[in-house]
Amino acid sequence: MASEVEDTSRRDFLVIAGNAFAAVGAAATLWPFVAQMNPDAGAQALASVEIDLSPVKEGQAITAMWRGKPIFIRNRTADEIKAAETVPVADLPDPSARNDLLPEATPALDTNRVKEGKDNWLILVGICTHLGCIPKGQAMADTRGDFGGWFCPCHGSHYDTSGRIRKGPAPRNLEVPPYEFVSDTKIKIG
């Protein structure tokens, strides 16, 4: 009787040890396949970009690239801010702020599309929400449309000084990417 108990515990140990050895071997075999799915260093480098805003004067705009998309950065004038703040949300075709850092149902008030205390800086993904064209309005000589913001020449969409659709076939406001101020003159997008 003692030998049966001894044989059973020895057999159990061998089964457990064999299964553990097989599990470790399977994990070691699968790890390279799982690890290759992680993004490479080049893709991680594109995940965020820092932009120096110090050379951008009031009323000027620059275009940067982030994840292969143009990013419109405008240092708005006091008149542009005032024009954007006075627009009632009820008058907008798209009532959503389209700010990646806020919930989808956030109203499209100008204050929900900029950072508090940095109202003059407007950061947008510069792709028309109709068919993906690049709107005009970044250069001083560009046509800015009926509302002083951006104008998409492809199909005639007009955006205001807060990047909200006001007229034309575009169904949505220009998107506000995730960004933060890392200093008074530098932002990090992504």
- Hey, which residues are catalytic here? 155
Within its chain, how far is the Cα of 78 from the centroid?
26
65 membership: H or E segment, kind and range? strand 61-66
27 membership: H or E segment, kind and range? helix 2-35
**Which amino acid would we find at residue 136?**
K
CA distance to 23, 54, 159, 171, 172, per residue, from 167 (Å): 61, 33, 7, 10, 11
